[in-house]
């Protein structure tokens, strides 16, 4: 995971990252995509009317732990299928 590059979706308006917020989790899970086009497909499929309000950014896997700590996320959700969507949740400790 540390040597890979991941893609994040970030709001152009306030700079917050796209996250999954399960009912029992107050902090949420940062959504990560393995490819730039997967992030764009996710936006266009599930939020086409507001997709232009978001940007896709890349981040090396080695910087994810710091980002989780800085923003206070519970962990990550790795999106393996942006159309369904199919997401694997991993908690950060």
User: Domain coordinates of the chain in residue numbers?
Assistant: 5-91
Q: Per-residue pLDDT tens for 6-51?
A: 999 999 999 999 999 887 767 899 999 999 999 999 999 999 999 9
pTM above 0.85, yes or no: yes
Rounded Cα–Cα distance for residues 81 and 69 (Å):
26
Local structure of residue 45 (DSSP, 8 states): H
């Amino acid at each position: 995971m540390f040597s890979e590059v991941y893609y994040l979706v970030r709001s152009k308006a306030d700079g917050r990252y796209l996250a999954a917020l399960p009912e029992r989790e107050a902090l949420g899970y940062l959504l990560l995509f393995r490819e730039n086009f997967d992030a764009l497909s996710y936006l266009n499929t599930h939020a086409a009317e507001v997709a232009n309000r978001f940007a896709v950014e890349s981040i090396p896997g080695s910087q994810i732990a710091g980002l989780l700590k800085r923003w206070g996320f519970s962990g990550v959700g790795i999106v393996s299928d942006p159309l369904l969507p199919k997401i694997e949740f991993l908690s950060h400790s």
